Structure 1
Amino acid sequence: MATPNESSARAAEQSAELMSAYLDAELDPAETAQFERYLDESPEARDELEDLRKMMKLVGSLRPVEAPHDFFEKLSRRLRRRQGLHRDLGLLSLVTLPFQVICIIVILTIAALHMMAQLEETPQAVERDPASDVQRDSDTDAPLPVVP
């Protein structure tokens, strides 16, 4: 069930559409006659129609402005990029980029902590380089002989 605010908003929208169609001469004769009877009965609607007529006359009197030479190219590029982002990401488009970055950082932190815990539970044997097993005489500081 529509609330009074919703029904009055819907009626105002329909009235605005009718006014626009009336000013553009898009109504058939029966609709035009019905709308003119409505205007005779409603001074507010008549005032609104007159305001709309003045606004359209004012807008029509403005000189045309030419868009910058690259306007359409930039606009179409932005539209394609936005449409591509929303189409490609699906549900991820609902999540903002900073939130996505924070989630990735949290996941990487948890993975690193898990790996560290696994390494502590199962200590690994340290492999030594066989070249470092050469016995050195601790009393002498003489360098080892070089083998050609």
Structure 2
Amino acid sequence: MLIVLMRYLAFMGGRSGTEGRTIEQQVLESNPILQAFGNAKMVKNNNSSRFGKFVEIQFDKQGKISRAVVRTYLLERSRVCQMSDPEMNYHCFYMLCAVTPRFKLGDPRKFHYLNLTNCYEVANIDDGRVYLETRNVMDVIGINQDEQVTNMMKWVGLKTKNSTLL
């Protein structure tokens, strides 16, 4: 529903944002990032949102979109350390394990918080490919390479590495 609403608003009041992309495009393209860090495999849904999302859209006097902000809230933090079969943890952990040479994480089975169930992958989903798509989206919406690796991906990787101690 959010995507349909954003497309309508963009049609009615689109305006260019970063690098020629409309603000609507940037908000829509941020969805894979939100899914990577906020969605998990559940019993009946392989890509279940575990958070709330609030989108604020502002218009200028001419009716053009001038600003959009996506805020997340109520992230299910217990998901990190508690789940049941055949559920999985947040997608971002498995994505980092799939790009082993970059982060040297390897098999998710060796991490306590990823080994709480007997489920380690989602059928027809290539976590390595999804990782690359997520990084591409980060580029598109203006998150530079240093911020991507240093401030986000390494934080998730470190949390995963630390889980071997538990």
After TM superposition, the score normalised by the length of structure 1 is 0.27
Q: Give the TM-score taking structure 2 as reference length.
A: 0.25
Question: Which structure's relative contact order is higher, taking Cα pairs within 8 Å and 6+ residues apart?
Answer: 2
Greater per-residue helix proportion: 1
The structure with more strand, counted as a fraction of residues: 2
